[in-house]
Amino acid sequence: MIGKSIIEAENAAREADLAADYDALGARLARRGMDIEALTARAMAFGVAVPSWGTGTGGTRFARFPGPGEPAGIMDKLDDCAVIHALTAATPRVSLHIPWDKADPALLGEKAEEVGLGFDAMNSNTFQDQPGQARSYKFGSLSHADAATRQQAIEHNLECIEIGRAIGSKALTVWIGDGSNFPGQTSLSRQFDRYLESMKAIYAGLPQDWRIFSEHKIYEPAFYSTVVQDWGTSLMTAQELGPKAQCLVDLGHHAPNVNIEMIVARLIRAGKLGGFHFNDSKYGDDDLDSGTIEPFRLFLVFNELVELEDTPGLDLAHMIDQSHNVTDPIESLIVSACEIQRAFVQASLVDRAALDGFRGDNDALMAAATLRAAFRTDVEPVLQMARLRAGAAIDPVAAYRASGWRAQVAESRPRVTGAGGGIV
């Protein structure tokens, strides 16, 4: 693990500057009637889950270029996740992916306790075949034309619930790659019926205090039609299944220029928003790091979440889902967690009373200006202070580099040379 002394030494060099920056921002916010301490408390209470699969180098379907010290298994991944949380204090939970992370649940629980992490939603995988698997998912899984293949996929999801139950998870995220690549290849309606029937069987196996999240994705790997392709289909699914079923919004899984924040508002209105997979994109489902391409869009998503945060029953699972192809995955996850937290804090700065007034007066210009005033406020001192007070690093990437973690684990972890396929 990252030694406390390294974090403290790194922080000591930055604390005086932070104190000055924090005081200056506090005074500036006070002039706007805002309390910086309340904002820092909100930042400290915010958490986003790290995807276990994000700790390894990702890739595209063309290639993967792993770096030194890649995690060799789930225990290594949990170590890396613990490093991210130690430095940011913003990632208290890990989202597991079965079967990639399959291990004795007792050992998973012990390891999580040892490194101080909890588990977020479980993720099933019926979009690829596993060694020794009886039936192939080449032509689908939960919506496959063959009942035995559907049953195999259902049982896999039930197993994910069973593992999750043993380690304290409370949700299952289902994303399937089912669809078609040719017009006429499949019946668009009957395929969806089969999917719903399978999801009902999984839903029936949910413990009382669990939720199931339906994640949609517009395309890939099925490039002509996808069974759960948009939020409308995801909402239909959640509504048909029942109260424990909700929708998961992955920011990358939308057509270009779609107004994602409006989808968020609609799903909250329906009582069906369950959580997020955060990432960013330039062209499609690029899985780029959160906040690197369209930080204003991320802010607008959080603006809806903050505006509607008192909605009864709203309980969101915030998770990251990205592919880190050219960076050290730990650094990307650190920066992404901080950027997601930043968008939340910026959205918390919006003067809601003023905004309501401008909306009531149809003053579009000033309403937009109210949002921009929050978005343009540099809240870095708030984020830094939240980390410092939680025992994390004022500058997490600098502390990570100073720790030498990657070089240290590269000594003990086997060198990965495979250049196999990418990550989803």
- Residues forming the site for Mn ion (CB under 5 A): 250, 277, 321
Write down the least CB distance from residue 372 to Mn ion, Å: 30
Write down the least CB distance from residue 290 to Mn ion, Å: 12
* H/E segment holding residue 122: strand 122-123
Half-sphere exposure in the Cβ direction for 39 (13 Å, CA): 30
Nearer to Mn ion, 278 or 375 (CB): 278
Write down the least CB distance from residue 248 to Mn ion, Å: 7
Write down the least CB distance from residue 408 to Mn ion, Å: 31
Write down the least CB distance from residue 321 to Mn ion, Å: 4
Nearer to Mn ion, 250 or 304 (CB): 250
Nearer to Mn ion, 321 or 331 (CB): 321
Write down the least CB distance from residue 277 to Mn ion, Å: 3
Which amino acid is it at 36?
I
* Rounded-to-integer distance, Cα 8 and Cα 389, Å: 11
* Rounded-to-integer distance, Cα 400 and Cα 414, Å: 21
Nearer to Mn ion, 195 or 276 (CB): 276
Nearer to Mn ion, 277 or 324 (CB): 277
Q: Can you say whether the dihedral through the CA atoms of 188, 203, 252, 124 is positive or negative?
A: negative
Half-sphere exposure in the Cβ direction for 169 (13 Å, CA): 31
* H/E segment holding residue 119: strand 118-119
Write down the least CB distance from residue 113 to Mn ion, Å: 27
Nearer to Mn ion, 157 or 186 (CB): 157
Nearer to Mn ion, 321 or 339 (CB): 321
Task: Determine contact, residues 329/31, Cβ cutoff 8 Å.
Answer: no
Task: Tell me the CA end-to-end span of the chain in Å, nearest whole number.
Answer: 28
Q: Report the DSSP pairing between strands 225-226 and 179-180.
A: antiparallel
* Rounded-to-integer distance, Cα 128 and Cα 140, Å: 9
| Dihedral pair phi/psi, residue 122, rounded to 5° | -80, 150
* Rounded-to-integer distance, Cα 53 and Cα 419, Å: 16
